[in-house]
Amino acid sequence: MVDRIREKEEIFFVEGKVAIPYNYAVGKAGSKFLIQLRDNKKIMGLRCPTCNKVYVPPKSTCKDCFNLLDEWVEVSDKGTLQTYAIVRQQNDAAQPMKAPFAYGIVQLDGADTGFIHLLGEVDFKQLEIGMRVQAVFNDERVASVLDIKYFKPLA
């Protein structure tokens, strides 16, 4: 009987968009990281006292040793592209750039972790894992990870 009812039903799908504004407390480590980006164009990380790993963006606890991290270190604004993705679908509510654009994971010199960010000033055909990139900062910074406009290839 259930099968006969299902055969007679029409199911409609309605496309919808939901933009949900929110505030997120970035904590002590995240606050110092963002303030240094905004005020000094410095990229800071936290070093683990036991395993010596440097986390960028900073975390308050080492993921391997579970030690509390409190040693701040400045890392370079240059790094190596570990991987990337090209975004071709536009989503105005969630994307900081117009499609097409690229994201990448950059391991900054002096850091042991990857930093996910936008890639700019690049021909998509020339993107390759292992390429060297450098941060480009926005002129006006507001204590956001987007104070780094994007990472561009080093010449």
Helix (H, G, I), strand (E, B) or coil at 148: strand
Instruction: Tell me if 127 is assigned to some domain.
Output: yes
What's the mean pLDDT in 61-77? Answer: 96
Instruction: Tell me if 69 is assigned to some domain.
Output: yes
Instruction: Tell me if 138 is assigned to some domain.
Output: yes
Instruction: Tell me if 55 is assigned to some domain.
Output: yes
Distance CA 147, CA 7 (A): 55
Q: Is the pLDDT of residue 146 over 80?
A: yes
Helix (H, G, I), strand (E, B) or coil at 129: coil
pLDDT, tens digit, 9 for 90 and up, residues 80-129: 999 999 999 988 777 888 999 999 999 999 999 999 999 999 999 999 99
Instruction: Tell me if 122 is assigned to some domain.
Output: yes
Number of domains the chain contains: 1
Q: Is the pLDDT of residue 32 over 60?
A: yes
Instruction: Tell me if 125 is assigned to some domain.
Output: yes
Instruction: Tell me if 9 is assigned to some domain.
Output: no
Range of the domain at 88: 24-153
Instruction: Tell me if 93 is assigned to some domain.
Output: yes
